[in-house]
A and B are shown apart, each in its own frame.
Chain A
Amino acid sequence: MLSTLNAPISLYAAAVAALMPLLAFGAIMVGTRRHPRLSAALSIGAVSMSLSMAIFLLVHHWGMAKPLVFQTTWLVSGRMSIPLGFLLDPASLLMLTVVAGISFLVQIYSLGYMAGDPGFSRYYGCMSLFAWAMLTLTISSSLLQIFIFWELVGLASYLLIGFWFEKFSASEAGKKAFVMTRFGDVAFLLGLVLLWLQLGDLDIVHLNNPDIIVQRVSPGMLTLTALLIFGGIVGKSAQFPLLTWLPDAMEGPTPVSALLHSATMVAAGVYLFSRLFGFFVLSPVMLTVCLTIGTLSLVLSSTMAMVARDIKQVWAFSTISQLGFMLMGLGAGSLYAGFFHLMTHAGFKALLFLCAGVFIHHYETNDMFEISRKGGRTLKSAMICMLVAGSALSGLPPLSGFFSKELILGRLLALDNPVWFIAGAAGAFLTAYYTFRLIFIILFPRPAESTAGKDSQPDHHSHQVAAGAGVMSAVLWILAAITVILGFFETPIHHFLETALGAQSSLPIAHRGWLPLAAGLLAFLAIGLAWLEFGRRGASQVGFVERLPALAKFFSQRWYLDHLYRFLLDKLVYKGISRLFTWNDRRVIDGALDGLGMSAVGLGGLIARLHTGMIQYRLMVMFAVVVVLILYFGFSG
């Protein structure tokens, strides 16, 4: 599949895009830890080069006919070979641009946000590490390579979540994120190995080719491996049931949340799904499971977002639910719908987080009521950008979110079972509701709340408002602009994806005439409800959910999922498996070793007793030898 004309340039461009951040990471970690400005410069320089290469590749290959693969064999063992390389096709190039772009913007934003932090260089080092891992993941050519960089991305996430490791909750959150995604990754690895045993290679292009797959993999095995790989997606994209790590991951700095936990890393799961879309589509069970989990995540996390007080947690739950929405789109059979929503979501979710970051940076609190009381509405650029992004999230026309949501809803409508569409619509309703709940709370402050933000921990870093504000605002405006105009690029992007991916993505999207109207109406209804409860003068700012304290508690305790996990952990793992292993370690292994030692000592003691000069012991030995000789000579001759 090598296109010889473009070969060298694209290869070099891709290599530069992928590897520059690695060089920056190495340089920062080794050399420039004590020079924060230099570290930042290195990191931003590297990622800007990646961005320019990504844009170049995108433009250069706009309208490419078929994917471009550059591969080299890394390890060979008998029938199996592990390749390493780059796969450039529309999806990967688009994703590459998105990732590079948002990384770039977030890193610039961090100049202002993280200014004065003692770990400034380390922060940029980890950011570069993440950029390298994520960028290479997007253009990886084989599933194994994706897995390697998947893990690396998880590592970067751990490092960044627990960035302020002095805070116990932060390091705990990092650990929780890592361990939870690990569960998913184990399933992923199992699926990968199974697939490898069946196929002999893990090339993505081959995986998307239905002829090859159907020939060599039985349907049952196909479903099994697909479900296992999907397990990895569930872990990484924080879907039900592995979703509780993402709200806790908000312990990290806000730019990290913006980059990793809204736009790129958690999107890696959805991206993987779209990567292997041709493969997953062959198993209807897989698609149904995907739909189910996506729906569950959508609805569950929307309910959780309705009662949250911490700004970042609201957006975290929102991310989970939007990722579920994307999975619904993909599970319904449309690669394009899910992928496009991924792109637009990256834009406005990152923007939402960055706006939240401005508030947090300014008022040193995460609690939305406190921010509003301290005068949140006075930060003009943050407020306006948040309004724009929130509207996009809610699906208000003509912003980008509207287009992408409408695509997914349209696809859901085309399914046989109406429950999916209803669930999707309900999710959209709730999304608009909680988004504008937050916006109205900040916009219309109420004085003297009795319970001030107990559950909000401000990001602790030194406070340099003036210096950072300009840089942060600039980034906000850029992202807002993208949010506004991206929607209008829907058709060219669709065409771009379509031509290269051919049959895979072309399940029909039902463009019913009434659907856009209905979607918009739904959004307006939700906003109206939010206005009634939070916005208008004299509103009590208590949501309809909060009026039912049992329900509110249920939602705010995250449907007791954390409690369930803690229970399972305690009972099964700590009391059960750990205790078994500890017992084994102490009694069996140590016991055996100690026993060996003890028996050696005992044997030595025994033999020492024979040497005491006591004649009868010596006689015993003599007699024993004699009887042995008797037996030997008597019976061998």
Chain B
Amino acid sequence: MTLYSILFYLIAALILCATTAAVTRRNMVYAVIYLVLSFFGTAMLFYLLGAPFLAALEIIIYAGAIMVLFLFIIMMIHMEEKPGTFFPSRQLLPALALSGLYLAAFVALVSTDKGGWRPLAAAQALPKEFGIYLYNNHWLSIEIASTLLLVALIAALILGQKIRRRTGAAGKEAP
């Protein structure tokens, strides 16, 4: 039981609890906040598993940008908390069944890996090394990802715009 393994289990527990809470909240804001907490945990996990750069990115991009975006949208949409059945059984039961199936598939897949029982050796990918590696081998993907981001930006603008023009309301803009 090394320190790292204790840490791992603690972080794993945190992630799982936070995510479960996020999934089951009625209030969407609470859900998003819990998910932010979960992503913090994931970032810590990444650091533990030897990806410090990614840990930082996780916090900046995922928790910082994407979740905040969610919050913006949630605040824009005035949704009352709906009473009644939270999880309709028509959807709950198939979802549970599928979950079970998936878990079974995962466990089965994992057990085919012969070396999986050995504890992982700790290592770290220094950001500098990581960057060199990335640009050496995946420079094309990076370029494409950049273009993709640009496309997304334009798309979001247009989607927000179109509706505004049609209804003619001086409304809120989509970010």
Contacts and interface: CB of A to CB of B under 8 A. Distances in A.
Complex contact flag A–B (Cβ < 8 Å): yes
Interface of A: 609, 616-617, 620, 623-624, 627, 630-631, 634-635
A623 B105 contact: no
Interface in B73-100: 90-91, 94-95, 98
20 contacts: A609-B90, A620-B91, A620-B94, A620-B95, A620-B98, A623-B98, A623-B102, A624-B98, A624-B101, A627-B98, A627-B101, A627-B102, A627-B105, A630-B109, A631-B105, A634-B105, A634-B108, A634-B112, A635-B108, A635-B112
Interface of B: 90-91, 94-95, 98, 101-102, 105, 108-109, 112
Contacts of B95: 620
Contacts of B101: 624, 627
Given A627-B98, A634-B109, 4 more contacts: A620-B94, A627-B101, A630-B105, A634-B112
Contacts of A620: 91, 94-95, 98
A-B complex: 4 closest residue pairs judged by Cβ atoms = A630-B105, A634-B109, A627-B101, A620-B94
A630 B109 CA distance: 9
Contacts of A617: 91
Contacts of A616: 91
A623 B109 CA distance: 17
A162 to B, nearest CB: 64
A616 B87 CA distance: 12
A631 B90 CA distance: 25
Nearest to B106: A630
Contacts of B98: 620, 623-624, 627
Contacts of A635: 108, 112
A72 B90 CA distance: 74
Q: Does more than half of chain A's interface fall in helix, strand or loop, or is it mixed?
A: helix
A39 B60 CA distance: 113
Nearest to B91: A616
B108 A631 contact: yes
Q: Which of A624, A627, A634 has the most CB of B within 10 A?
A: A627
A197 to B, nearest CB: 58
A634 B112 CA distance: 9
B93 to A, nearest CB: 10
A631 B112 CA distance: 12
B10 to A, nearest CB: 30
B90 to A, nearest CB: 8
A101 B95 CA distance: 90
Contacts of B91: 616-617, 620
A634 B101 CA distance: 14
A548 B102 CA distance: 92
Nearest to A623: B98
A566 B112 CA distance: 75
A467 to B, nearest CB: 88
A627 B102 CA distance: 6
B94 to A, nearest CB: 5
A620 B97 CA distance: 10
Nearest to B109: A634
Contacts of A624: 98, 101
Contacts of B108: 631, 634-635
Nearest to B99: A623
B108 to A, nearest CB: 7
Contacts of B90: 609
A634 B109 CA distance: 7
A107 B105 CA distance: 90
A627 B90 CA distance: 20
A604 to B, nearest CB: 16
A616 B105 CA distance: 22
A593 to B, nearest CB: 29
A620 B88 CA distance: 14
A635 B111 CA distance: 11
A635 B109 CA distance: 8
Contacts of B112: 634-635
Contacts of A631: 105, 108
Contacts of B102: 623, 627
B91 to A, nearest CB: 6
Nearest to B98: A623
A623 B96 CA distance: 12
Nearest to B95: A620
A623 B100 CA distance: 12
A627 B98 CA distance: 8
A549 to B, nearest CB: 77
A622 to B, nearest CB: 10
Nearest to A620: B94
A504 to B, nearest CB: 81
A84 to B, nearest CB: 69
Nearest to B112: A634
A594 B157 CA distance: 57
Nearest to B102: A627
A319 to B, nearest CB: 77
Contacts of A627: 98, 101-102, 105
Contacts of B109: 630, 634
A97 to B, nearest CB: 86
A616 B90 CA distance: 11
A631 B109 CA distance: 8
A117 B95 CA distance: 82
A393 B95 CA distance: 93
A191 B83 CA distance: 78
Nearest to B103: A627
A617 B95 CA distance: 10
A272 to B, nearest CB: 71
B23 to A, nearest CB: 14
A624 B101 CA distance: 9
A631 B91 CA distance: 23
A617 B98 CA distance: 12
B102 to A, nearest CB: 5
A620 B96 CA distance: 11
A617 B102 CA distance: 17
A630 B98 CA distance: 13
A58 B60 CA distance: 124
A389 B133 CA distance: 130
Nearest to A626: B102
Nearest to A609: B90
A125 B171 CA distance: 100
Contacts of A609: 90
A383 to B, nearest CB: 93
Nearest to A634: B109
